[in-house]
Amino acid sequence: MLAAVIQLCSQDDVAKNLARAVALIGEAARAGAQLVALPENFAYFGDEDGKRDVAEKADGNGTILSAIAGAAREHGIHVIAGGMPEKSEDTERPFNSSVLVDPRGAIVAVYRKLHLFDVDLADGTTLRESASTSPGYDTVVTRVRDVPVGMTVCYDVRFPELFRSLERRGARIISVPSAFTVTTGKDHWHVLLRARAIENQVYVLAPAQQGKHPRGRQTYGKSLIADPWGDVIAQCPDGEGFAIAKLDLAYQDRVRANLPCLAHRRLSTPP
């Protein structure tokens, strides 16, 4: 299939963010994409009070998912709606959720980010995602055009056991919608994504935010698609846009046959 990753510079205006996301979904679909992935924070990138206000249930009836479902229906494609605020039982801490929408506009899978980004960076940036976000509790492998797809969000990429668990459940594609900081992105973005692709011999779809956002946030970008050999086969330049590539499952089968490391494991990881 043809897949596209969208790069955005989202702000704290949901309507404008959604309009831009929907427009780029349309551009990617017209270029042939059958699966389009949006980055983390695609609908809202602002302060925590605002995030709580825009959080919605993952039932397709809220403002955010209604817009994405409409775009998926219009173009007859699957859309991975990056990371978005989903209401949880804790009203002060919504989930950071990635949602798969099918070509009918139906929600078929919801993954809630497991690993939350609590860091003090060398550049003075302090981030405490856990203070305003509830952690998820399940891994998710779903299907797109009958191909198993594992779902993650951003900081999850630093936890290889999660990716191995998704591969053991059959994932051939893994999505990593992200909003990497410039500090971490310049040193770790490509390395981590290519490593996860190589280790698990999967395609990695990594749509990302790029640019300046409210509260002084600045994101790295370089949205990319990596193949099972770890090659970056598509990448966005700076600015908003998308990158598109063919996901060749026959090639993936050859990689797995010629270097059968997945069959050589001596240690087990719980599924």
The residues that bridge with 245 in the sheet, in sequence order, are 3
Of residues 40, 56, 86, 129, which has the active-site annotation? Answer: 40
Catalytic-residue membership of 154:
yes
Of residues 51, 56, 113, 167, which has the active-site annotation? Answer: 113
Residue 140 structure tokens: 């998710």
Each residue of 196-241: pLDDT tens digit?
Answer: 999 999 999 999 999 999 988 999 999 999 999 999 999 999 999 9
What is the C-alpha separation between 133 and 94, in angstroms, rounded? Answer: 5
Q: Within a 10 A sphere around the Cβ of 154, how many other Cβ atoms?
A: 26
Each residue of 48-68: pLDDT tens digit?
Answer: 899 999 999 999 999 999 999
Domains along the chain? 2-261 (3.60.110.10)
270 pLDDT band (50/70/90 cuts)? low
Catalytic-residue membership of 40:
yes
The set of residues, in sequence order, having a beta carbon less than 8 Å from that of 225 and lying 6+ positions away, is 3, 5, 203, 204, 205, 206, 232, 233, 234, 235, 243, 245, 247
Of residues 51, 154, 236, 240, which has the active-site annotation? Answer: 154
What is the C-alpha separation between 267 and 14, in angstroms, rounded? Answer: 45
